[in-house]
Copies of this chain bind each other. A is one copy, B any other.
Amino acid sequence: MNLLNGNEVSQKIKLEIKSKVEAMRAAGKKAPHLAAILVGSDGASMTYVAAKEKDCHEVGFDSTVLRFDANTTEEELIAEVIKINNNPNIDGLIVQLPLPKHINEKRITETISYKKDVDGFHPMNVGMMFKGLKTFLPATPFGIIKLIEHYGIETSGKYCVVIGRSDIVGKPMSALMLQKNCTVTVCHSKTVDLPSYTQKADIVIAALGRPGFLKGDMVKEGAVVIDVGITRVEDATAKSGFRLKGDVDFESVAPKSSFITPVPGGVGPMTRVGLLLNTLEAIELFK
């Protein structure tokens, strides 16, 4: 069993990005600039935005966080998004979700120009990804592809089972593994006899959000196992009172796997790197 070390790989990619940005600056060029819109003061959202800001600084990107009061109207927010769409100095824009209930999230995210949509959520980018055209990829699937590539994991002709069909992980993940010439099955809550699929898979990607769901008897010997789940579970022995648990029961699955992502330190840091890679590409893509 080998660990797919997201911390290590993300660090390596970040250093590569950093040296590219240094070269840009040295050549008198503009560095990538990510703008984030944060509405209200939800604790988790503030943490995520702060992490993204930190990542930007680490690789030398410019970053701007636009903070708005929880009472901001939808129209004010739309106006702000349009302003950023038209600002040539900003390459990528993310709006931290969730937004307050009086604001229509779909309307806001679709107002973001797809040319700056570094989250890869805009239908235009989703469509281009699905067709295999070069575009911004959703950060988690993008990060997972980078992790797989880093470890030289063979995908062509392999059988990949994706558990979960969300718009931001399961569906795009299956599209990307198909592009990498896997035979791909998408399983979900309505799947009958899920183990009959996972037990045959060379690669299992668990993204259903149920801690410890995938057990050792559900995977075959030598499988590559990618754990996208991150759920907080109570843990009296932890200082914080909780710990992060993935969708994979690491204890029983790890001994059977050839490669496996730990939680934390697997997919999580790769997701953060996915956003950075999109932002780096944003300075050229669609321009």
Residues of A at the B interface (CB closer than 8 Å) are 122-128, 130-133, 156-159, 165, 167, 171, 174-175, 178, 181, 183-188, 190-192, 197
Contacts and interface: CB of A to CB of B under 8 A. Distances in A.
Contacts of A188: 178, 181, 183
A246 B191 CA distance: 30
Contacts of A165: 178
22 contacts: A122-B127, A123-B128, A124-B124, A126-B126, A126-B127, A126-B130, A126-B131, A127-B127, A127-B128, A127-B130, A130-B130, A130-B171, A130-B175, A132-B167, A158-B192, A165-B178, A178-B186, A183-B190, A183-B191, A183-B197, A184-B186, A185-B185
Interface centre among A156, A181, A190 (most CB of B within 10 A): A190
If over half of A's interface residues share one DSSP class (helix, strand or loop), that class is named, otherwise mixed; here it is mixed
B183 A131 contact: no
Counted per complex, copies of this chain come to: 2
Nearest to A123: B127
A274 B244 CA distance: 47
A284 to B, nearest CB: 19
A186 to B, nearest CB: 5
A176 B123 CA distance: 16
Contact of A124 (B127, B184, B186): B127
